[in-house]
Structure formats: structure tokens, C-alpha cells
Structure 1
Amino acid sequence: MGIDYDNRINNFMVSARADYDWYLEKTKGSEENLAIQRDIIKGSKPYKNLRADLKMGCILPTIVLAVRDVDVSVTEKYDPNDGFMRASRKDLDVLEGELRGINSSHVDIVDGLQRTNALRQTLEELDEAERSTFLSRSLRLEIWVNIAFFPLAYRMLLLNAGQRPMSMKHQIDILSGGLAKDLQDLPGIEIIRLKDHKRRVKPGQFHLSTLAQAFQAWMQRSPNVDRTNLVVETMVVDEALDSLGIDLSDNDGNQRDGFRQFMAWVLALDKALGEEKNRFFANDTVVLGFAAAIGFAHKNETLQDRLVGAMDRLIADTTNSDLSDALGVETFDQIRRSIDTKRSNVGEATRGLVFRAVREYIMQEGTSPMVECWTQSASMM
């Protein structure tokens, strides 16, 4: 129906109408995510009422989608500074043609998971004779076209911040496909998805689930990403929005240097360690601890200026054959093995160990060897 431009995240948004049939077909890729909330919705009286209303033909609030790999070159003729765009019917028809045949794997539900689940459940409850009429009904859509991962994450967290049906971890899991696309061009990276049924066997290989958790740890500046306290979760989401907002304030709305830079550093260190010490970054707790520490420094005004220099120095030292254990992997292994399993959760303790050690290294701008940072971190356990 029209196009608009969001000057906060520098992205075009298409306003559209679609029938239920097209919509449910194009969001099939979200079934796994929807299953997470299925029990919640079935046991919820408001959503029971919504399904009854849908059978009567109610209009759903607008659902927000993000689509990838769409040719939107026709938008280039429109001025982003125009507050009220008047797209020609010809251009809108071109966009409609592009979106009509979009692959479902390129569609993310940014806002409307529960409404979508209600639609699917309602369809299942209908008799065969009623389904055709139901599927021909329309709903309204906001479609963010070719939106990069950072602004998409910001927009999704902002939309859901006032609700609490989804944890932040859940939201990041939903966006993991976009995260993989955003990182896949980093030199030396190989992203392993669940369906690949592969194990990490060499440097540079990372499971997508690990990267999703690392992104969350980087945003919330804490290595422990499982939050059960809703008050704490609310504070964490606020912090995450603030962190993403730092990068979105750049002139390029698709700015993504923060987390990508972290991954570039990890890939360089992983490669420098080589096959012999491949196990270090194969450990999820190490990746999460690193991510949290880098995220902490990324936002901290004092540490921002020290971060790049410290990491460059760490990579250079680790790459130097005369400093074979500049990262202190052997010291880290010794400390980790000494953790009392009766008194501590090993995973949580290890993530905290890595977080404190890397944060200390950055704080000292790389002047204190990692071996000393591991030792100092261990004294705080």
C-alpha cells in the first residue's frame, strides 16, 4: 500500500495487506519459535477469546515482519528526508511482485508471534468447509525490507520491551538466522547450524546457538545469559537497547561494528592458537565470557579507548611464535580444573573467570599478561 523510511534505523518499511493464506505460508519458518509459546497461548483466556474473535472475522493489529534478499532498487528514487512518501502504483506493484514470491526462510516475525500462533490454532480448529473463507481474510503488515541484524535486533527489543511474553534470550534465538547472515562474510568463519549435525573440529567453526548466546552476553555485558527474575530481565533489556542504540547513532543505520568486531577478534585469536589449542574457543563458556567482557568495554566510556589497543596487542602476542601462550590457555585450564564442583556451578564460575580476566586485561590496556589476569580473576572466585 505504501513505503516509508525510518530515519532512526535508516531502513525502508513497506505497508501492505495480505490474506491469511499467503501470510501463514510465508511464516512457516517461524514454526519452531512459535512452538515455544504454544502452551502459554493455549492456556491463556485472552488468546482463547482471540481465536473465537478470529472465527468471527476480527481484524488483527498490524504484524511486523522483516524480509531478506529482496530487490528493492525501486526505493532508491525516493528521498528518505521526505516525511510523507507518495510511491507510484507502478513501483508498489514491483515491490509487491518481489514480496509475493519471497522464500519463507527469508522472513522473520519481528512483532506478532502470538497473533500468528492464534491464527494457526484457529485454522486447525475449523472444519474443512470453513477454511477457505478464513484463509481469504486479510491482515495488515509492516515489512522491513533488507534490514540488517543490528537495527532489526534494536527494533524487535524495543517493540517487545513493554510486554513480557518472551525473554530476551528467546527473542535473540528468533533472530539467529539474521545474525548468521550478518557474520557469514567474516574471513575464516564457518557457522554450524543445528540441522548440520556437525561438531567443531578446527578453528573458526562456531555453532549458531553459541553465537546467539554470545550476542546476548555482549549486549547485556554479563556472561550469564539465563535470566529468570523479571525485574532483572527488564533492566537487562533496557541496557541492551541502550547498547544497540550506541551503534545505531552512527550515520550508517546498518552499523554493525560492535559485535562483528568482537567476532573478528575471536576469529583472529582462534586462528593464532591453532589446531593444538582448538579446544579453548570450542568451549561455550569461554566465548560467552569474552563476549560479555568486550561488550562491557564497548559501552564503558573509560574502557572504550583502551579496547582496540588491548585486543590488537593480545592478537599480536598470541600470533608471535616466541610468546606461545600469550593467551594463558594453560593457566586457564589449571584454574578451571581446580573449581570445586561441590561449591560452584562450573559453567557459571568459568564464564565469570573469563569475563573478569579479559575485562582486567582491557583495563590494563594489555600491559598485564593474560597469565596474571587469569590469576587475579581466580582470586575473586
Structure 2
Amino acid sequence: MKLDIHSIDFDKVIKSRYVTASTDYKFANESLVPLISRLEIQRNIQDSKFYNRLEKDIVKGCIMPALTLAFIDPKGLDITESGEMKAYLLDNIQDGFILDGIQRLNTLSRTIKNQPNLDLTGILFLNIVICSSMDNLLYRMITLNNGQKPMSARHQIEILTTNVFEFENSDIPVFTEKKLKEHKIKIAFNKADFVKGYLAFLANSTNIENQKIIEDKLDELIADKILDSNVTEDGVEFVNVIDLINKFSEQADIYKWFRNINNLIGFCVGIKKNYINLSVIDVDSFSKGIKMFEVAFQSFNYSKIKVGRIRRNLVSYYVKNWDVLQDSDDLELIDTLSQVD
């Protein structure tokens, strides 16, 4: 198979291996085009009329802009030699994601079908990113696509969560981690809730749903929050958060508590600042702390507040400040939480 490695570097922002390579139309059609169908909710293929000009240019021998291909695999980070990198990519090509170039690949595939005499040795350049985690890949994905209205940050997160995590076909799907590590997950999430929790974690914000803001602007706001949230530098991966939720959910009451989407969102935001401390406490201690929080929350006048928004914000605040607040008595905690916006 035609695959030439030109350079191997390291992206210090997303802590990932960055490779430039080239291939030909034959390899692209046989090995890259099938990756389009992996992304179940990827951007819809554009009407062919938008790419008729590109199809004609391919026939004439144009060189298309480079495609961006990505992998989530920590093992690939240590590869620095061209021959080993080529072997790795050829062995794992079926696990790749097309971050940029879906429409061009689709146009190339159509051109090959429509032009049986097309020269399949035409050159195609590739930018390849090998990431250790989905969090870092999403950061890069959003920097690539932010501003393209058909591809919001929310949509991009849905794309990768659908493909990196397996969901059962049920009303309350069970997910298992597919690529990063081998885990047995006890807790079950509704897929939409899972995406919201991940979105809140990446954006470091409980404000991921706001009826006052139109959807397009809210998506832009979320993208900006993600890019400003130091997701590539804080050292906590979402898979760590899921492990912790899984651990605490051994108790049925905590499992039920996490099934409340507002609790899940608040926890996913708050834990970014306090993961080290909460990761070492036992299940009973967490359960005791949550029961104390719920007693305090019941003291709020629900008719005077927006319950969902306040719950998200207070859970986030409580988790961020767990070390201090867990030693509060009932009245002290009520007083403290009542002052949180």
C-alpha cells in the first residue's frame, strides 16, 4: 500500500504525535473512504453539485488540500521512526477518524466511480494526529472546525462519544470504553445525558443549556469556553471522571443521584478542580457528603429559584470545595450555598 511518511513531530499543546504523510488515490479510496461511515452522526455529505468543480479538477490532475486523519491510541505516541510509523498506521488505519476532508474524500470516491480510467496514482497529502485521549482530540477538532456552522462543538463531541464509547440499543444505554483502556462500567447513562456531562466537563461550565440564547450562538459560546478551559493542561481526563462516578455508583442511592442530569453536569464541572482529593475518598464518605448536600438543598424555596440551574451550580461548587464544606454543619452549609450565584 502506498503511504510515505515525511515528518514525525510532537504537538506540545494536545500532547500528541503529529505526522505528515502522502498516499495515492487508490489507498485513499480503499482505506480512507470507508472511515466516513464510521462517524454515525458526522456532518451530512453535501449535495454533489457543490463539489462538481472539484470532481472536474481531480480528473484534470489537481492536488487537493491535505486531509486530517486522527487516532486515539497512547501506544502511537512513542513512535518516532518512519518505518515503524508506517507499519503502525497501516495496521490501525481502520480505527482512524477523518477530522477534516470528509467532503473531499466523498468527491474522490464518486470521481473514481464515474471515471473508470482515472489515474489512481494521483498524490494525496495527509496530516495525521495520534492522541492519547479523546479530550485532547476534541480540543484539536474544535480548533479545526470552529466557525463552520454545520459542525458545532456539541456535534463534534457527539461524533466522538458515539464512536469511542459503545451504546446499547435501549432507553438507558450502557456504555463501555472502547479504545482507551479496558474498563467494566457499572453505571448506565442515557446517551444524551452522557454527552451533556462531557460537554460541561470540557467547557468547565454548567451553562451548556440556556433558553435565552439561540442555538447557534450558544454553540459558539460553548466552543469558546472549551478553548479557554485548559482542557489539555489540567491533567484530568474525562475517562478518570467516569471511573470515579463508576466507583461511587456502587451504592444504589448514589447511582440514582448521578442519573439526575443536573447532578451529573455539576459534578463533571466541579471535579475538574478537586479530582485528586475526591479520587481517594471511599464510597461511604461520598454518600454521606451527598446526603448532607441534599438536606441543605431542601431548605431552598423552590418557588423562588430556577431549580435545575441552581442545582447544577451548587453541585459544582460543593464538589470543588468538598474538602472544606464536608466538615460544615447543616446551618453553615445552607448559609454558604445560599450565597452562591
TM-score by length of 1: 0.65
Q: Tell me the equivalent position of 2:226.
A: 240
Equivalent residues of 2:69, 2:100 under 8 A apart = yes
Instruction: Give the match for residue 97 of structure 1.
Output: 87
Question: Partner letter of residue 204 of structure 1?
Answer: I
Deviations 1:70-118 (A, max 9, x none): 9659835xxxxxxxxxxxxxx53343233223252x1112222333343
Matched residue, 2:15 = 10
Q: 1:242 to 1:196 in 2, by over 3 A?
A: same
Residue of structure 2 aligned with 1:259, choices 235, 238, 245? 238
Deviation, structure 1 residue 42 = 1.4
Q: Which runs of 5+ in 1 are unaligned?
A: 77-90, 181-191, 249-255, 299-305
- Amino acid of the residue matched to residue 193 of structure 1? F
Where does 1:124-163 land on structure 2 (aligned, <5 Å)?
A: 126-127=113-114, 130-131=115-116, 133=118, 135-145=120-130, 147-163=132-148
Aligned to 2:167: 193
Separation in structure 1 between the aligned mates of residue 79 and residue 282 of structure 2, nearest angstrom: 44
C-alpha contact 1:217 1:291 (8 A) present in aligned 2: yes
Given the alignment, which residue of 233, 246, 249 partners 1:270? Answer: 249
Question: Does structure 2 retain, via aligned residues, the 8 Å contact 1:66–1:145?
Answer: yes
User: Residue 263 of structure 2 aligns with which residue?
Assistant: 286
Give CA-to-partner distance per residue, 1:248-273, whole Å, 9 cap, x none. Answer: 7xxxxxxx4253443344233322xx
| Alpha carbons of structure 1 residues 100 and 214: separation in structure 2 relative to 1, 3 Å | same
User: Is the CA contact 2:72–2:134 (under 8 Å) kept in the aligned structure 1?
Assistant: no
Given the superposition, is the C-alpha separation of residues 93 and 166 from structure 1 closer, same or farther in structure 2, using an over 3 Å criterion? same
| Contact persistence 2:40–2:159 (CA under 8 A) | no
Amino acid at match of 2:266: G
AA aligned opposite 1:23: A
Question: Partner letter of residue 107 of structure 1?
Answer: G
State the Cα distance separating 1:144 from its structure 2 match. 2.0
Instruction: Supply the AA of the counterpart residue of 1:325.
Output: K
Deviations 1:184-203 (A, max 9, x none): xxxxxxxx524688745995
CA separation of 1:56 and 1:197: change in aligned 2, threshold 3 A: farther
Deviations 1:224-252 (A, max 9, x none): 5468544443343222122135617xxxx
Among 67, 86, 94, the residue aligned to 2:71: 67
Give me the whole-angstrom Cα distance separating, in 2, the residues matched to 1:370 and 1:219.
32
**Which residue of the other structure, out of 84, 109, 113, is the alignment partner of 2:102?**
113
- What's the Cα RMSD here? 4.5
Name the residue aligned to 2:198. 215
CA distance in 2, matches of 1:219, 1:332: 26
Between the aligned partners of 2:218 and 2:290, the Cα distance in structure 1 is 41
> CA separation of 1:268/1:141 partners in 2, compared to 1, >3 Å: closer, same or farther?
same
Aligned-partner residue type, residue 291 of structure 2: D
How far 1:173 moved relative to its partner?
A: 2.0
1: CA distance, partners of 2:9 / 2:150 = 29
Find the counterpart in structure 1 of residue 291 from structure 2: 325
- Report the Cα offset of residue 5 of structure 1: 1.5
| Alignment-derived partner of residue 172 in structure 1 | 157
Contact between 2:136 and 2:232, CA under 8 Å: does it hold in 1?
A: no
* Matched residue SS, 1:165: coil
Rounded to whole Å, the distance in 2 between the matches of 1:288 and 1:267 is 15
CA contact (8 A) 1:327 1:371 kept: no
- Residue number among 302, 316, 336 corresponding to 1:359 in the alignment: 316
CA shift digits 1:301-327 (9 cap, x unpaired): xxxxx775578779553345xx89345
CA distance in 2, matches of 1:260, 1:71: 17
The question of whether the paired residues in 2 share the 8 Å contact of 1:176 and 1:212 is answered with yes
Secondary structure, in 3 states, of the residue corresponding to 2:68? strand
Identity of aligned residues (%): 20
Q: Deviations over 1:182-223 (max 9, x none)?
A: xxxxxxxxxx52468874599533456543332211122334
| Distance (Å, rounded) in 2 between the aligned partners of 1:177 and 1:35 | 8
SS in 2 for 1:257: coil
Structure 2 distance, partners of 1:153, 1:260, is: 14
Unaligned runs of 5+ in 2: 176-184
Cα offset for 1:50? 2.9
Q: Equivalents in 2 of 1:160, 1:52: separation in Å?
A: 26
Q: Tell me the SS of whatever aligns to 2:21.
A: strand
Matched-pair contact (CA < 8 Å) for 1:6–1:13: yes
Residues 368 and 102 of structure 1: CA distance in aligned 2, closer, same or farther (over 3 Å): same
1:183 alignment partner in structure 2: none
Residues 202 and 229 in structure 2, CA contact (< 8 A), matched pair in contact too: yes
